[in-house]
Structure 1
Amino acid sequence: MTSAIDIAALDPASRDAGAVAHYGDPVREQRLLEEKVGLVDRSHRTVIAVPGADRLTWLHSLTTQHLEKLQPGQGTELLILSPHGHIEHHAMVTEDGTTTWLDLEPGSQLLGHLERMRFFSQVEPADVTADWALLSLVGPGTDEALAALGVDRLDPPDALDVPGAKFAQGTQPPRPSTIYRVAAFGAGWVRRVENGADLLVPRADKDTIDVEKVGLWAYEAHRVAAKRPRHGFETDHRTLPAEAGFTAPAVHLEKGCYRGQETVARVHHLGRPPRKLVLLHLDGITTDELPVPGTPVTANDRTVGFVGTAVRHHELGQVALALVKNNVKDDTQLRVGESTAQMDS
């Protein structure tokens, strides 16, 4: 295998610096994720462990997710919002019976917030990123790869339907809006997610998994094509959950009070968030340079949104996720820097 090319060597300012961009052939790596299975080292993500008797009720009270009945062997997603309902943190969650694990975007400052909110709760949140590494299997061959690693088949995610605006009370049962199946894996765990699985392993063991490695560039191309948002990439300081597509996996619309709940309820019942997440097809004619995160999206010289993640997809060409105003029509001619763009919402 070709030597790993680190993102830090290509873009030292990237928030993904510390991850591998590719192993010599990013296009082949993209095809591997679509046709078979590959292993992506995402160990630059922040990992927080939350042991303690009150961990689930405490996290339930602070977040958008219904966590009181999260069972050992289950995972989900959550958001922590500002008082005005803007996304401040997004975390993937895993419960193993003694500890609730949160994995977040690199450099997350969530731990400071959790420590300030402990009060008299029996919880001991700690950043354990130095000891634990998150890896991701991606592709249709995930179950076969897990079986080869000694993991019994895990059911795919179990997601509740998002109710319509002004839904009747009792529409959503008192459980997480999305449940991911989890199994023990050595000293850590494996969590089955959509089209893949996440593995938490001791950092010293992260290079021992016998599955072909794939760089983060291929993973991101796969994510963008599937329109899956990342906090801090497809969000800004005023992004609401419904705008960026976080409601379905990370928000329980009938749980008790939490910070920002009023805004979440109001936006959902009005049925029209101010902005929407879209996939943009870039012409790639004027320039071969991909737009950087935050590049304005314009229509008739008027800014209507911003680019999150832009990638070179092996079939779609240059594409990007963007957050644009909800009243922008699908056939509107857009511009991103020097490129024209067509919206695929």
Structure 2
Amino acid sequence: MSTDSYQPYYQQQLSEAHFEQNTEGFQRLLNFGNVTQEHQQALQGTVICALSDYALIEVGGSEAVQFLQGQLTNDVKQVSSAQAQLTAWCTPKGRVIATFYLLQRGANYYLLLAADRLAWVFKRLQMYVLRADVQLRTATELQVCGFSTTQAEQIPTCFTLPEVNQVEHDNGLSVLTIPAATGTRCFLIAENLQSTWDACLEQGATPAGRSAWNLLDIQAGLPWIETATAQAFIPQMINFPELGGVNFKKGCYTGQEVVARTHYLGKIKRSMRRARLTGNSDCQLTGTALAVADDKQSVGQIVQAAVHPDGGCICLAVVKTDVVTPETVFLQQQPEIYLEWLE
């Protein structure tokens, strides 16, 4: 969400913040001036991340569940006030338009997504409402930040961490725990996060930006589809079934035929892997095409990348499944930069 839509909870650290503005006008708070320290703490300590470029779409009405069930890859009927889920929205050809966390607050459902997809997704979702009793709106009153720790003693007492993909609600604060490579991490969602942000800092958390959160997503193998990668992949290419983001028994939804056929026939030509990039790169690589020496066509794309505190960049990359030899895949426009598989 735009930082000027409300008083930012990171106001005290604002003078040190480094922003990047995307084509949709949303500001991404990258860091608070010390990338290496923030990333080291993200991997080995405790961080509280300002996530100014996440947004929420509220879905209400008596037919909200039926509406979402016909659009999303996961089984919406399993979502409750205590249970959230990773999910995606696809084109009729099965290509992922956006990825979300779907949660329930009160009587309404909320889609948490990358803010640069907000305007496009919101407009397109409205086209599918037709005469259904469904109301959509952008929940601009809600703020989002992220908490991550490898040290249990630094978890503030002001909120409770539930199990992965579960939600705790207390006095207007929603705590949604998501996958982590090590330790525990969660989204914190509320109309005013100031007291929660301050409590985390008092407990010893390092303030950080989206760059550190992105690093944690990569470590956990959790992809977020942004404008640069929209409609580039089917869910299987970004490992969504393995992440619990697709339910193959729920019935029809937009793109279901292609997604199901791929699943049952087992014909997946590309998949997502973690990799380290050799050479010098600025790590702003989302959507960057990948190549190999003996193929003029692209063999994949980078989903997201981040600076690693040990040096260089790591990334999530979707590549052809038959491209398995390390150090043969490189950036199509920077052939001196190769990928080294991390797993």
Shorter-chain TM-score category? 0.7 to 0.9
2:51 to 35, 38, 42: 42
- Is 1:230 aligned to 2:239, yes or no? no
Structure 1 unaligned segments of length 5 or more: list them: 158-179
- 2:161/2:177 contact within 8 Å kept: no
Distance 2:65 2:218 in 1: 32
TM-score, L = length of structure 2: 0.82
1:259 to 254, 259, 264: 254
SS in 1 for 2:317: strand
- Is 1:245 aligned to 2:257, yes or no? no
SS in 1 for 2:268: coil
Aligned counterparts, 1:167-316, within 5 A: 180-194=165-179, 195-203=184-192, 205=194, 208-212=197-201, 213-232=207-226, 235-247=229-241, 248-284=243-279, 287-290=280-283, 292-302=285-295, 303-315=298-310
CA distance change for structure 1 residues 273 and 17 in 2, over 3 Å: closer, same or farther? Answer: same
Stretches of 4+ moved more than 3 A in 1?
12-17, 141-144, 203-209, 233-236, 287-291
Identity %: 19
Deviations along 1:209-248, one digit per CA (max 9) or x if unpaired, are: 4223212222222222332211127834231000011223
SS in 1 for 2:253: coil
Deviations along 1:3-55, one digit per CA (max 9) or x if unpaired, are: 433222xxx44779523222222222122222332111113212111122222
Aligned counterparts, 1:1-345, within 5 A: 3-8=15-20, 12-13=21-22, 18-107=27-116, 108=118, 109-129=120-140, 131-141=141-151, 145-146=155-156, 148-149=157-158, 151-154=159-162, 156-157=163-164, 180-194=165-179, 195-203=184-192, 205=194, 208-212=197-201, 213-232=207-226, 235-247=229-241, 248-284=243-279, 287-290=280-283, 292-302=285-295, 303-315=298-310, 317-331=312-326, 333-336=328-331, 337=334, 338-345=336-343
- 1:4/1:21 contact within 8 Å kept: no
Distance 2:226 2:312 in 1: 24
Deviation at 1:335, TM superposition (A): 2.0
TM-score, L = length of structure 1: 0.82
Structure 2 unaligned segments of length 5 or more: list them: 1-11, 202-206
- 2:161/2:168 contact within 8 Å kept: no
Question: Amino acid of the residue matched to residue 293 of structure 1?
Answer: T
How many residue pairs match? The answer is 314
Distance 1:226 1:121 in 2: 37
Q: Please, what is the CA RMSD of the aligned residues?
A: 2.6
CA distance change for structure 1 residues 312 and 16 in 2, over 3 Å: closer, same or farther? Answer: farther
Distance 1:14 1:126 in 2: 21
CA distance change for structure 1 residues 281 and 36 in 2, over 3 Å: closer, same or farther? Answer: closer
Deviation at 1:92, TM superposition (A): 0.8
CA distance change for structure 1 residues 222 and 16 in 2, over 3 Å: closer, same or farther? Answer: farther
Deviation at 1:82, TM superposition (A): 0.9
- 2:102/2:112 contact within 8 Å kept: yes
Question: Amino acid of the residue matched to residue 201 of structure 1?
Answer: A
